[in-house]
Amino acid sequence: MTDSGIEIKQSYGPDDLANWDPAVALGEPGRYPYTRGIRPDMYRGRLWTMRQYAGFGTAEATNQRFKFLLDAGQTGLSCAFDLPTQMGYDSDHPRSEGEVGKVGVAIDSLEDMRLLLAGLPLDEVSTSMTINATGAILLLLYQLVGEENGVAGHQLNGTIQNDILKEYVARGTYIYPPRPSMRLITDTFAYCAEHIPNWNTISISGYHIREAGSTAVQEIAFTIANGIAYVEAAIAAGLDVDDFAPRLSFFWNAHNNLFEEVAKYRAARRMWARIMTERFGARNEKSTLLRFHTQTGGSTLTAQQPENNIVRVTVQAMAAALGGTQSLHTNGFDEALGLPTEKAAKIALRTQQIVGYESGIADTVDPLAGSWFVESLTDEVEAAAWRYLEEIDSMGGAVDAIEAQYMQEEIEQSAYAYAKDIDSGRKVVVGVNKFTDEVSEAADVFPIDVAQQRAQVARVSRLKQDRDQAGVDAALADVEAAARGTQNLLVPMKVALSRMATLGEVSDVLRGVFGVFQPRG
């Protein structure tokens, strides 16, 4: 069985594809239905963007890690934010204590964003920011720094994750209830279409759904269901599908079952092309392309025998490349223990470079195409995902399914079954339940710098004392008025942030209008 419960036969042959029409199922690379990839030449033209996730402590510390990775050959930036930033709290808020800079960088204000991006060529580099509930705020801060450095909005390239629905399903860094959160997202779509046209306004994420314990089939089904909800919300807000859909992107996980993962990516691409064409009537070809970033599976990493994770990450990176990813992050081997050390981050980047430049995977487009096994598995993954989408549609769509806890409960059942298989030994995890060592070797762990946390708290406190408070108050009042009305929220938010209002203050204004989401007990 695959991780999704699809039975694998001993061997495959022509009979498994007896009724299979390659012209319909495959097409040509770069042509509908994009099973074989979104570009005719794929990696023969250029390799995927190599991004290593980075973010810890203060903006200055993360800026140094960015430059280290760029010097090592990374081709795009990817930024992690600490929990207070993700949840809309400033570093000096009581609820932030002990979490400042711990699992990502702390960004409280325009001052921090300036330090984070200092010395980086914003008109040349593509930046991905893994941020959701406060995604619009971080994007505006990025735009403001770009403008200060003479880089106009149309010159900026990057992605904000901005996928709030999966937070309710799998991760938990939501602030507001689902429906006002959807307004923030559609306002971001509209704002970027006018002001930052080359920015990917959302990265619809299956990664965290998979990390929570879903199967591969559930990962693409639930994520595509969320994608449908975003498209429907944007259209309901008055946007034309072809005005925003070309800037939608996806974010997938990569696990160890290489062939199921490859089938997953190929099936998802085919499904999205069909949905955008048949369901939403997209006319622009770019609206139908499922462009995606991949990250190797954090939940597959083990604290036991951590160097085994280098091999796991390599297998997962190969699956992503064979499946046609546009961008890839490879995890550090020590991430089951803490944030990646510089050594682990460099090995992870070198893993991508070896796969890209030495393995031959990039020499031809979709090298597994036509395999009886891979094509049969792609069809089975797709069929199983459609069954989930039909169930979600019958409930009224993704938002209704989330509010009914449907996706959450399905994931919980899959996670429980997976854990039982490991406990019983039916699922082998090398170094954990088989081929174990009696004594574990100690590994270097990334140190948490408490002094950096204190410095960040002092910085935001000092900023609040030194700024023009009357100007901040007036701008925040405009944000509140927009939240109570129908104006695009990002316009007054940008003004407030430019006057040194903090991320926490803008979030508090929206909390006051929208309320705070409380999950069902």
* pLDDT class of 193 with cuts at 50, 70, 90: very high
Q: What is the pLDDT of residue 62?
A: 95
Look at residue 442 and tell me whether its pLDDT is greater than 80: no
What pLDDT digit, counting tens, does each position of 301-310 carry?
999 999 999 9
Q: What is the pLDDT of residue 36?
A: 97
Q: Convert the pLDDT of each residue in 367-392 to its tens digit.
A: 999 999 999 999 999 999 999 999 99
Q: Residue 439's pLDDT is what?
A: 76
Asked if pLDDT for residue 521 goes beyond 70, the answer is no
Decide if pLDDT at 173 tops 70. yes
Tokens of 225: 């269901």
pLDDT of residue 120: 95
Averaged pLDDT for residues 200-217? 97
Peptide bond into 33 cis (omega under 30): yes
Mean pLDDT confidence for 490-503: 98
The residue-averaged pLDDT of 341-351 equals: 95
Closest CA to 48 of 358, 349, 356, 326: 326
> Phi/psi of residue 452, each to 5°?
-65, -40
Q: Write down the pLDDT at residue 339.
A: 85
420 vs 57, more confident: 420
Give the confidence band of 52 by pLDDT, cuts at 50, 70, 90.
confident
What's residue 203's pLDDT?
Answer: 95
Nearest alpha carbon to residue 137 among 169, 93, 83, 184: 184
The helix, strand and coil proportions of the chain, stated in percent and rounded to the nearest 5, come to 55, 10, 35
pLDDT at 150 over 70: yes
Q: Which pLDDT score, from 0 to 100, does residue 416 have?
A: 97
Report whether 340 contacts 444 (CB < 8 A): no
Q: If you average pLDDT over residues 121-146, what whole number do you get?
A: 97
C-beta of residue 123 within 8 angstroms of C-beta of residue 92: no
Is residue 316 within 8 A of residue 256, CB to CB? The reply is yes
Q: pLDDT per residue over 227-286, tens digit each? A: 999 999 999 999 999 999 999 999 999 999 999 999 999 999 999 999 999 999 999 999
pLDDT value, residue 520 = 76
Distance CA 246, CA 477 (A): 34
Task: Dump pLDDT digits (tens) for 449-481.
Answer: 888 889 999 999 999 999 999 999 999 999 999
What's the confidence (pLDDT) of residue 468? 98
Rounded to a whole number of angstroms, the CA Rg of the chain reads 23
Instruction: Please tell me the least confidently modeled range out of 52-61, 311-320, 394-403.
Output: 52-61
pLDDT greater than 90 at residue 438: no
pTM score, two decimals? 0.94
Indicate the domain borders of the chain: 43-363+371-424
CATH of domain 43-363+371-424: 3.20.20.240
How confident is residue 53, by pLDDT bands cut at 50, 70 and 90? confident
Which of 12, 115, 13 is closest to 55 using CA atoms? Answer: 115
- Classify 332 as helix, strand or coil: coil
pLDDT at 95 over 70: yes
Q: Is the pLDDT of residue 435 over 80?
A: yes
* pLDDT at residue number 519: 84
What is the mean pLDDT of the segment spanning 209-217? Answer: 98
- Contact of 317 with 350, CB cutoff 8 Å: no
Band (448; pLDDT cuts 50, 70, 90):
confident
63: pLDDT strictly greater than 90: yes
- pLDDT of residue 289 exceeding 70, the answer is yes
Report how far residue 107's alpha carbon sits from residue 109's, in angstroms, rounded to the nearest whole number: 6
pLDDT of residue 447: 77
